[in-house]
Structures are given as structure tokens and as C-alpha cells.
Amino acid sequence: MIYPVILVVVMWYVFNRFGTSKKVRSLKDADFRNEMKNSPTPMLIDVREPHEFQGGYIPGAKNIPLSQFGQRLSEIPKDRHLLLYCRSGIRSGKAGGILMKKGYTQLTHLQGGIGTWKGKISK
């Protein structure tokens, strides 16, 4: 009887630790690009680590790694539409969840991450 309880707790932990937030808007590539163009105050944030960012990033993106979010929240304005992305979409969803808990409301992340991006890449 104890094993099913342990299994449920482990599954809950894994989902909360690695799953994307259901509250953060998730857009596919074309819709994400339209959001970048049509939002009056967009801020594009790449939440990958610096070495990943240096390998190629969406033009105009600011690199604020998920691992540094706690120390760098002051760089992220609450009054702008935040467009988040990472390599696969997991970290950007997690970053969105963290920001939501801190009171940010205008959040969107790129479903599938930069791997699904069909637009220009800067290096």
C-alpha cells in the first residue's frame, strides 16, 4: 500500500520540477513570431545558459539563464510582454511559472524552443 503513495509523490515531484507551467501561454513558431511583431512592448528573453546563447539566438533576445533568475529579476520589467524561449521549451515554461509566482502577467513561451524556430538566428 505504501508503494503507490510513494509513486504518486515521485510523479508529482517530477512533474512540478520538470513540467511546464500550464498557465504560461505556449505558442508555436509562427504565432510566437507574430506575437513578437504585434506586441506593443515585447521583451524577448533567452533562458538558456550563456554557452548555449553564444551558439545562436533569436535577434533582440536578452540572455537571462533560468539558473540566474533569482538574482536577476530586477532586469525583467513587469509592465512588458515577456516572450521566453530555451532549447526545447521546458526551461522557458519553468521560467514563466517562476515569473507568474512573482506577479508577472504578460508571459508567452516558444513551444518546442529554439529548435522549432524558423526565423533568423544571430551568433
CA-wise closest residue to 76 among 98, 48, 58, 93 = 98
Euclidean distance between CA atoms 86 and 49, whole angstroms: 9
Query: How would you label 62-77 residue by residue, b for 16+ Cβ within 10 Å and e otherwise?
Result: eebbbeebeeeeeebe
Classified as helix, coil or strand, 44 is: strand
Catalytic status, residue 122: no
Question: Which member of 82, 86, 99, 107 is catalytic?
Answer: 86
Q: Which residues are catalytic?
A: 86
